[in-house]
């Protein structure tokens, strides 16, 4: 019985008999995209939906992200899920700043993205007021399929970004708007 194995995520490059050549940037992007280590910053109900995404039915491990990190220094994807109070804001920002480059941020659900239904004096009206966000997932709460879609979008970003992301003028300008050096 012959088994037809195809490489689904092969980067663009030059191919011939016995060789394949591509750029270092594409290989690094591919490796990064398929080994993202998330830091789940979960404060309320959206976190429960993330637990369902991790469990066997949706199985986040299929995308190389089953290794959660509760230390910012060993994480490259900050996933913010739940209501973030203004008191919690400086803590979230410190966690973001402690993460090493390259790093990405996923804002999951209405509360993290905009304050959601909690338009009150004590709730941060969107985490992008204190840290840059790469992908937003809508919903209250978003379904696990939406969480997977958000992670796939982060993977697309990681594949196409420069190896030294932090040194690009666009990224420096973005961090400068947040007062982050
Ligand atoms: S968006 Fe909805 S489900 Fe998610 S934390 Fe806010 S209230 Fe809870």
Q: What is the pLDDT of residues 114-172, one digit of tens each?
A: 999 999 999 999 999 999 999 999 999 999 999 999 999 999 999 988 888 888 899 99
> How many structural domains does the chain have?
1
pLDDT score, position 19? 87
CATH number at residue 94: 3.40.50.12280
The CB of 82 under 6 Å from ligand 1? The reply is: yes
Assigned domain for 23 exists: no
The CB of 113 under 6 Å from ligand 1? The reply is: no
Atom of ligand 1 nearest to the CA of 117: 7
Assigned domain for 28 exists: no
Assigned domain for 157 exists: yes
Assigned domain for 130 exists: yes
The CB of 140 under 6 Å from ligand 1? The reply is: yes
| Cα(13)–Cα(19) distance, integer angstroms | 10
The CB of 83 under 6 Å from ligand 1? The reply is: yes
Q: Which backbone phi and psi does 92 adopt, to 5 degrees? A: -60, -45
| Cα(179)–Cα(181) distance, integer angstroms | 7
Hey, whose CA ends up nearest to atom 2 of ligand 1?
140
Question: Residues 1-39: pLDDT tens digits?
Answer: 666 766 666 778 888 888 889 999 999 999 999 999 999
Could you give the dihedral angle defined by the CA atoms of residues 68, 70, 74 and 79, in that order, rounded to the nearest 10 degrees? 60
pLDDT score, position 181? 79
pLDDT score, position 5? 63
The CB of 116 under 6 Å from ligand 1? The reply is: yes
Assigned domain for 21 exists: no
pLDDT score, position 2? 65
| pTM of the full structure | 0.91
Assigned domain for 22 exists: no
Tokens of 119: 């338009």
Question: Residues 24-80: pLDDT tens digits?
Answer: 999 999 999 999 999 999 999 999 999 999 999 999 999 999 899 999 999 999 999
Assigned domain for 27 exists: no
Hey, whose CA ends up nearest to atom 3 of ligand 1?
141
Assigned domain for 19 exists: no
Domain membership of residue 64 as a residue range: 38-177
Mean per-residue pLDDT, 96-103: 94
CA pseudo-torsion sign 163, 61, 92, 45: positive
């Amino acid at each position: 019985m012959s088994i037809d194995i195809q490489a689904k995520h092969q980067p663009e490059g030059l191919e011939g008999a016995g060789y394949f050549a591509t750029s270092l940037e594409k290989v690094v992007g591919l490796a990064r995209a398929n080994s993202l280590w998330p830091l789940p910053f979960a404060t309320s109900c959206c976190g429960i939906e993330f637990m369902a995404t991790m469990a066997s039915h949706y199985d986040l491990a299929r995308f190389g992200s089953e290794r959660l990190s509760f230390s910012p220094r060993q994480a490259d994807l900050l996933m913010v899920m739940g209501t973030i109070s203004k008191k919690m804001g400086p803590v979230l920002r410190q966690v973001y700043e402690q993460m090493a480059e390259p790093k990405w941020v996923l804002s999951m659900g209405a509360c993290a993205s905009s304050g959601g239904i909690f338009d009150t004096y004590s709730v941060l009206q969107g985490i992008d007021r204190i840290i840059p966000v790469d992908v937003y997932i809508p919903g209250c709460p978003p379904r696990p399929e939406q969480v997977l879609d958000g992670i796939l979008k982060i993977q697309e970003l990681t594949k196409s970004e420069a190896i030294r992301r932090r040194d690009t003028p666009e990224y420096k300008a973005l961090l400068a708007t947040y007062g982050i050096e």
